């Protein structure tokens, strides 16, 4: 292969002939450096010509080789292959087009037609290719034409077709909000694969899928772990009000499965400041037996920001964790809470001398955000000296205010007694 590529254009007929004769496998192209380079540009046209070969197996091998080269000039030939009389050729073509992503935009109409193919695998692969294209492209004019066919496919008798159709609708995103009722029904499908795809799709559609929230909340009790995980992520993305979503997510924080708890915390982190109702649950998660749960809980509290101020004491305690990552994330969270975390200053000054550099860095960053001061990170003594002066000044001010109050109180008593004499 290397010798053929070095020869140049004269080698491409030999390369194509070797593929046609079965002397080399399409897999060879995966390991050879042809991707997007000059050699690929030379080989691709020769392979495209093989798509018209009378031998079915030759056409399939050429398609699979093109999958690894992925030259855009091969797309028209692959579109023709979608009409091939052999379903195996059509199936190979739909799979290969999917690997081209956004470079196969011109194939969308042909893929839409392939959704009606009598062969189940062709339909499945066509949906997968459309999903890949929609993930990287915008189709203001084409997507509306695709949606009705995907809505038909979501009712297909084959599980894989229904699941892929739901996934492709999610790939279209907010433009597929007309599909929300069908996806809600798909959440009740007897096959977990379909329910997982439907939940994920609703999350990708976003706020336009808000009407699915009640069923997504019910889905949190699904027997399938994957379905529940996708439902949690979807609830974070559909734009629910806190009062609607947090009671349901709060229950997931108590689940015995680590992945459920982690996914719930990640969802709350994505929601951000609007997740302030979840602060008590996240404070509890700071003591979870799973280290990842603990440090992700600290991250989520930081994402909530100043409204997580009731968690300050719990985060201060986390600064003493045996594990470094929870300490790092706790320091960062305190900085994101900001001035409302002022009582954490002594603990953060102490953390400047932590054995982990990450804890030192984030503690310094937190101190700057909480206090507005810019003392050196490697000078804890300077921070401590400043803090002691701050505390003393605050104490003097409080005592002064108390003294003023006592004087004012005595004056009032005198005035009252004077009035009684």
What the block records as the tokens of 254 is 């108590």
How far is the C-alpha of 42 from the C-alpha of 177, rounded, in Å?
44
In the numeric block, the tokens 């009740």 are attached to 188
- 8 A C-beta contact, residue 290 and residue 321: no
pTM to 2 decimal places? 0.74
The domains found in the chain, sorted by start residue, are 1-137 (1.25.10.10), 153-240 (1.25.10.10)
What stretches of 217-285 adopt beta strand conformation (E)? none
Residues 6+ away with beta carbon under 8 Å from 410: none
Listed residue (307, 252, 251, 310) closest to 274, CA to CA: 307
Short-list 56, 68, 73, CA closest to 28: 68
pLDDT in tens, the chain (421 residues): 444 444 344 545 666 677 777 766 665 565 444 444 456 667 788 888 889 988 898 899 889 888 888 888 899 999 999 999 999 999 999 999 999 888 888 998 899 899 989 999 999 999 989 888 877 665 555 556 788 889 999 999 999 999 999 998 998 888 889 999 999 999 999 999 999 999 999 999 999 999 999 999 999 999 999 999 999 999 988 876 656 778 888 889 989 999 999 999 999 998 899 889 899 999 999 999 999 999 999 999 999 999 999 999 999 999 999 999 999 999 999 999 999 999 999 999 999 999 999 999 999 999 999 999 999 999 999 999 999 988 877 777 766 666 555 545 445 434 433 443 3
Write the DSSP assignment of 295-318 as a string of letters: HHHHHHHHHHGGGGGGGHHHHHHH
Contact at 8 Å (CB) between 129 and 101? no
């Amino acid at each position: 292969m290397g010798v053929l590529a070095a020869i140049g254009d004269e080698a491409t007929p030999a390369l194509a002939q070797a593929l046609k004769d079965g002397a080399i496998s399409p897999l060879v192209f995966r390991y050879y450096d042809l991707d997007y380079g000059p050699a690929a540009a030379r080989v691709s046209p020769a392979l495209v010509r093989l798509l018209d070969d009378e031998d079915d197996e030759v056409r399939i091998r050429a398609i699979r080789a093109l999958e690894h080269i992925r030259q855009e000039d091969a797309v028209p030939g692959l579109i023709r292959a979608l009409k091939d009389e052999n379903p195996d050729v059509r199936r190979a073509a739909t799979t290969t087009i999917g690997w081209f992503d956004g470079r196969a935009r011109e194939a969308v109409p042909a893929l839409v037609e392939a959704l009606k193919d009598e062969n189940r695998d062709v339909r499945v692969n066509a949906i997968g290719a459309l999903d890949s294209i929609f993930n990287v492209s915008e189709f203001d004019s084409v997507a509306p034409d695709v949606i009705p066919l995907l809505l038909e496919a979501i009712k297909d008798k084959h599980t894989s077709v229904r699941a892929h159709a739901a996934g492709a609708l999610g790939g279209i995103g907010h433009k597929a909000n007309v599909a929300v009722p069908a996806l809600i029904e798909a959440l009740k499908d007897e096959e977990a694969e379909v329910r997982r795809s439907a939940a994920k799709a609703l999350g990708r559609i976003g706020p336009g899928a808000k009407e699915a929230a009640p069923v997504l909340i019910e889905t949190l009790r699904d027997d399938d772990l994957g379905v529940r995980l996708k439902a949690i992520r979807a609830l974070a993305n559909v734009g629910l009000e806190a009062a609607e979503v947090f009671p349901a997510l709060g229950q997931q924080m108590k689940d015995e499965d680590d992945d459920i708890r982690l996914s719930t915390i990640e969802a709350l982190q994505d929601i951000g400041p609007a997740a302030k109702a979840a602060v008590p649950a996240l404070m509890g998660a700071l003591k979870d037996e799973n280290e990842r749960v603990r440090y992700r809980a600290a991250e989520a509290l930081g994402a909530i920001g100043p409204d997580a101020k009731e968690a300050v004491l719990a985060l201060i305690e986390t600064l003493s964790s045996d594990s470094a990552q929870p300490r790092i994330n706790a320091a960062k969270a305190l900085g994101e809470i900001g001035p409302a975390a002022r009582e954490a200053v002594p603990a953060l000054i102490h953390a400047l001398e932590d054995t982990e550099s990450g804890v030192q860095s984030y503690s310094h960053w937190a101190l700057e955000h909480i206090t507005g001061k810019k003392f050196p990170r490697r000078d804890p003594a300077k921070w401590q000296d400043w803090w002691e002066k701050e505390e003393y000044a605050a104490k003097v001010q409080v005592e002064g205010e108390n003294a003023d109050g006592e004087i004012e109180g005595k004056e009032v008593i005198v005035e009252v007694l004077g009035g009684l004499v």
